[in-house]
A and B are shown apart, each in its own frame.
Chain A
Amino acid sequence: MEPNTGTAETRSNGTASDGDDVAALESLQFTDEIHRLISATTTNNASSFTALLELPAPEAVELLHSPESAKLMAAPAPNIEDFKASFHFPSNSGLIERAARFSLFAGVGNNNNNTSNSPETPSNNPSANPQKAVKSEPAETESSEPLVSDPTVEKRCIKRKDREKKVKGSTKKSKTAMNESSEDAEKLPYVHVRARRGQATDSHSLAERARREKINARMKLLQELVPGCSKISGTALVLDEIINHVQFLQRQVEILSMRLATVNPRIDFDLDSIFTTESGSLMDSNFPSMVMPLVWPEVQVNGNRQQYQQQWHFDALQQAVWGREEVCNNYITPENSLLSYDSSANSATLHSNQMKMEL
């Protein structure tokens, strides 16, 4: 039974900390597999709790995560590399996302686990969302698990065991293994969540817990992306910062578009021909040099919004002139001083030379 052994291996890898319990856990997991196979024949039982789950929009998740993980790794690399060195961990958000995923579950052989589980359970979810279901696993090992074919009955047994306080001292971290990996693997019907000690193993609360952990993982990613957020604790304040950041970026776009409108009387940018003829090299050197003054640093969150803007890392400028409402003229002088970097100056003079030649 190749997929079952794969499953057992991954779970035993995940619980490697409890060395004593591995053997008993393995036997239990085999019984788990047997139960699942048996319950695969009974269709209605699984749908009773899967139907009550809050399920995310499968479309958005599916569409979002396969390109998004690629984009997260690809797109922010130039911006996030300019983070200040106060980051202790790799600041590439793709790495962070991968690290978050791996911290949440076993890691090894999870893809095997996915593919092994997906063919087992398509019959289980006739009406519910085929993507996910939450299945509880007992927190600690019990070698003698009564053979039951109903997963809800299984949970009742687990509840009894919790109450009987046979749970050992070490608390296991809850794992939403399939939760995370299913998004970039095929659609997986089951989400494996481990119940913590003393927590209810209700299907509702398990589903809620899985959902909450998913949300928390995403929030962690957002915290790392938005500068100044990783030191804040509490969802509401973090959301505050995120909202401020989004508003700031949107306002930047408006201001920049106004600036571009004042620069030329008609919207003609001959520079496009320059950019295309120069091929990627000059533009690559151009953009980082432009971008370099504007890093997205890790900032101390002060109460003062003006200071937040001013702490942006400008090499040439001592004080940033960025305010929330600005006249276009203010931007010209800082930008010109910024453009006095060597690389940018070279590229800019090249631009101007070519413009003159064209004209």
Chain B
Amino acid sequence: MRPPSSLKQEFLKKWITGLQRCSSSKRNMSILERTKAIKLSADVAMASARNSTTCWSRALIANASKDGSDGKHLVEQILGLESERLMMKKASTGALVCNKRIRSKKILKRSCRIPRTRKCVPQVALATSIAKRMVRKRTQVLKSLIPGGEFMNEVSLIEETLDYIISLRVQVDVMRGLAGVSELVNHN
């Protein structure tokens, strides 16, 4: 079981590594570039701190290390080449398997839906269908928020949001701490 501070420390170390990599490459970066670099390295560091145990971390790293973006070098730096390859393999197979599963589930649902007939009171049916529609809309929005969320079913989506919220909080805390300290140092 990992103590909480070690998660923060791990994230911080990986993040600083990534930032050093960024700063060594270019000299005069505009503020936007720097923002993006900081955010990217923070995200990748957070995802790698999960060690590919969660779907969102794999999806995040997969998105970051797409060919043609400078994220790839960053990911290599933070993760190390070997683990990056492992993670890419896991991410691709995971997505494929999830897609197949989702497709087969949809086919199954469609086939089961046809013979079933339900007799419901119209008002009750209306209320429940409205509620279901609302929930479905919101789950779609949530899927768009969580990295790699489109491939998950409802159960794993909720688990992924749990994990994602926790890691986001850790990330925000660490970043805020660093920002505060560095601002204080600069003012002195």
Interface residues of A (CB under 8 A from B): 52, 54, 56-57, 59-61, 63-65, 67-68, 70-79, 204, 211, 214-215, 218-219, 221-222, 225-226, 234-236, 239-240, 242-243, 245-247, 249-250, 252-254, 256-264, 266-269, 271-272, 275, 280, 283-284, 286-287, 290-291, 294, 296, 331-332, 335-336, 338-339, 348, 351-352, 355
Contacts and interface: CB of A to CB of B under 8 A. Distances in A.
A59 B172 CA distance: 29
Contact of A214 (B2, B94, B155): B155
16 contacts: A57-B98, A60-B152, A67-B51, A68-B53, A73-B1, A75-B170, A78-B4, A221-B162, A240-B138, A246-B164, A250-B145, A256-B175, A257-B175, A258-B35, A259-B183, A296-B169
Nearest to A332: B183
B29 interface: yes
Contacts of A331: 179
User: Do most interface residues of chain A lie in helix, strand or loop, or is the interface mixed?
Assistant: helix
Nearest to B101: A57
B104 to A, nearest CB: 11
Nearest to A60: B156
Contact of A64 (B29, B135, B156, B177): B156
B27 interface: yes
A283 B179 contact: no
Interface in B24-58: 27, 29, 31, 34-39, 42-43, 51, 53-55
B92 interface: no
B173 interface: yes
Given A64-B53, A68-B159, A211-B155, 10 more contacts: A68-B53, A74-B4, A215-B155, A222-B158, A239-B138, A252-B172, A257-B36, A264-B186, A291-B173, A348-B185
A86 B94 CA distance: 41
B88 interface: no
A229 to B, nearest CB: 11
Nearest to A294: B176
B61 interface: no
